[in-house]
Chain A
Amino acid sequence: MGGSIACIDEIDFALIGHQESWRAAADVLAVLRGPGHTPLPEEEIRDMLPWIPPRAVCHVEITSTCGMRARGVYIDSFIPPDRLGDVSMHDNLARVRGAAACAIKAGAKIVSLGGFSSILIEGNVDQLPQKHGTVFTTGNTLTVSFIVRAIRQLCLQEGRDLRRSTLLIVGATGDVGSGCARCLSPGVKRVLLCARNLERLRRLAAELAATGVDVEIATDPRQFSAHADVVICAASLASPSLLLGSTAPDAIICDAGYPKNLSPSAAMPDAQVFFGGLGQVTGTLHFIPDLHGILNRHPFPDVVHGCLLEGMALALEGRFEPFSRGRGLITPERVEEIERIAARHGIHLAPLYNAKGPLETSLDCRAEVFA
């Protein structure tokens, strides 16, 4: 039967995602069409994709470096790449709920919510369908881990003293932003928090200030980006549209958004920009059909977003629990815990890269021994 794929009776995990660009969506559909069919023109994909109900796209199999194996499915919510804005929130939530229902139907024991799926669900966990035997994790704790680890290691590699740095977090009140703030604040000189919701900003600032952190808040990052030499962009933006303005010379900037936060027109010639929140599987990772490099479009093999890797790591560990439950619950202790679990199964920080390619000072995470 044309197009049929390997039938796997029992699955451990499901990954819910969506494509961040029409190009990425076109590549996925080209694989599904197969080599015997000409790829669909982009205008046809723009017509067709919004009508596809959420569904499994491929099977995923991961083996850890300690010999454990977990099987799952990648479920695409088919949120159109140009409809990530607030105006499509209702429709997108329905798509994520539909994808969650697919995961439950497939028998997944743990479901990771990738990209905008987790952002949509952060404040709406109760809107997910419920079934005994299936748990959901936003995957944000492992994402935070990879961001924090990358910044620490890049500073170390460049001989910078993070304790003398001013840290700016854009999207600070989100799950990932606030988690990064809690992990990094105790180790920097000053923290600048930026988000749209002033009330949430005040609450987070008060929480950090209570532990002795020198913290300031603003709703516009350009208000104090010139003071920052370490920047984390973790805002939930529908498209790469963030303009930071000027930053400190040689600033380190982590773009952890999906879709990316930073506008391509943002000129930051002296800054060291990298894409954050990514991990690498050092065991094996298989997609059936083979969507390697298409579902995970990175210049290094077996690199996947932390939010999706969290579900896979927990499945390998046999811990089917809602590890990341939603906004504001990520603590340094939880980050260390998921980092240990991931490392035990050979899931580490991915080598760093940006739009131009790998960073010259790219980290060799495989050589690193988890401390």
Chain B
Amino acid sequence: MTEQSISLRHVDAREALRLAADGYRIVDVREQVEWDAGHIPGATLLPLADVASRYAEVLTDPNAPLLLHCAVGARSARAATFLAGRGFTNIANLTSLADWRAAGGAWEVPEQLLTPAQARRYSRQTLIPEIGQKGQRRLLDSKVLLIGAGGLGSPVALYLAASGIGTIGLVDDDLVDESNLQRQVVHTVGRIGQPKTASARVTLEALNPETRVIEHRERLSADNVERLIAGYDVIVDGTDNFDTRYVLNDAAVKLRKPVVHGSIYRWDGQVTTFVPFAGPCYRCMYPTQPPEELAPACAVAGVLGVLPGIAGMLQANEVFKLLLGVGETLAGRLLMFDAMNTEFNEVRIWRDPDCPACGDRSPFLAEPATARQEVPA
């Protein structure tokens, strides 16, 4: 007998059940799609095509007893032969997975979180342990509202749609202007003069037909803000004036909606995240707004094209963490970006006990969090 045949043996289902009960580690060398359709609980997935490149990382002890299987024992026999040649000393190869199931071997069918098309499209992010199929499902079920489909809203919208955020709402009553195109990358020359929400929708739907884009072709105001934000999970503030920012802040605190804030001026940007009552709000950070001449809009002061791109990417990053419930957000920190010197700085921001919106005497403290409402079509 050769050395290889000593370390590798073929076993039927009855024998395999005994080995599994004895603590043999089960290694499934089928493809991901086969695994997704059903597998032995506790087994390790190591597709045959990956065995050569990944075996050392996955199977760290060459003396540990292994029970390999595929569907009918052919692929697993090749994997077993390979491993035996690499010094693995105790490998059993199950010759029929159907027999295993017929003999009452443990079996589980995982919940189908994604369609095969979704699994393909989002594979590069579902591979990330903090996202996985579960996280992707959550993104697909999420609703994000962008206030402003301009400088900040454009990059945010592109990446949210590309990554499979299920519903993106766009609030903007403006039309696409030629001077927008230097930074508002969701719009195009051919759509100058069209409503920004409609123009953005065309781009986003082309990028990801699965994302539902809802146009709110209106200007955010005290009269409509609660209606607009109520149905969404996260709000992205990319507006261009203080009045809107304060109106949004107060309603978001009242309805307990997290707001990802971004603001820009020429070469500089500020980004932070407000989580009502868990951290400071916009009024805590800036209780008083500066006079107009000290806070000009981009149309007056000018802005570097990439600046809202960078700030918007930082905002989009915050959105993903909020939705997935992972990592550290910017809640309690104001991040400042200086494009001229390529410098990031941050300062701590605190929830102000005297804040009229979220302080200790907040009128919204007793307000029950509103139930999630359906987004109007």
Are A and B associated in one complex? no
